Amino acid sequence: MQPAKWFGVIVLYTAATLLCFYLIPSSSGLLFFRYFFGFTFVVFVPGYCFVNLLFDDGKLDVVETLVLSVALSFSIVGISALFIGLSPIGLKVDTIVISLSGIVVFFAVLAFLRKIKILTQLPKR
C-alpha cells in the first residue's frame, strides 16, 4: 500500500474511533460500533503502527504482522495506562482514549516518514 494511503487510513480510523466514542451514547442502539471500533483500536492499531515503524514492507508475513501487532498493542496500552495511572492526571477513560490516540498518530507519523524514506536519509552523527 502506498505510504500516503496507509497514513490516511490510520488517521481516518483513529478519527472514526474518536467520533464513535464521543458521539454514541451508552444507551444507543449503535453501541456495537463503539465497541467494535474501540476494541480494534486498542487491540490492533497501536501495535500495527509500531510494526510498520520497525519493519520494511514485505519483510514480515501477514500472520507475523498480525501477531506482532496484537502483542505490541497490549504492551503499548499497558505501559501507557501504567504511566497515566501514576501521573497526577489519573486513570480515566478520557485520558486513556486521548493518550492512545496521540500514541497512534505519533507512531503513524514516524512510520509514514520512514516509508517515504525521510527518516532513513537523515545524516548520521
Helix ranges (DSSP H) in the chain: 3-23, 31-43, 45-54, 62-86, 93-115
Output the pLDDT for position 119. Answer: 61
Q: Which of 46, 57, 51 is nearest to 1 (CA)?
A: 57
pLDDT, tens digit, 9 for 90 and up, residues 62-108: 999 999 999 999 999 999 999 999 999 888 988 999 999 999 999 99
Q: Quick one: pLDDT at residue 7?
A: 93
Tell the residue number behind the cell numbers 454514541, with chain if given. 24
Q: Identify the band that residue 112 occupies on the pLDDT scale cut at 50, 70 and 90.
A: very high
pLDDT for res 46: 96
Would you place residue 117 in the very low, low, confident or very high pLDDT band (cuts 50, 70, 90)?
confident
Residue 22 is placed in which grid cell? 464521543
Query: Taking a C-beta distance cutoff of 8 angstroms, is the pair 50, 80 a contact?
Result: no
Angle among Cα 56, 80, 6 to the nearest 5 degrees reads 30
pLDDT at residue 17 is higher than 70: yes
pLDDT value of residue 27: 87
- pLDDT band (50, 70, 90) for residue 116: confident
Q: Is 1 helix (H, G, I), strand (E, B) or coil?
A: coil
**Domain range enclosing 61:** 3-121
pLDDT value of residue 59: 85
Q: What percent of the chain has pLDDT over 70?
A: 94
Domain tally, the chain: 1
80 close to 106: Cβ distance less than 8 angstroms: no
Q: Within 10 Å of residue 74's Cβ, how many Cβ atoms?
A: 14
Rounded Cα distance, 19 and 34, in Å: 9
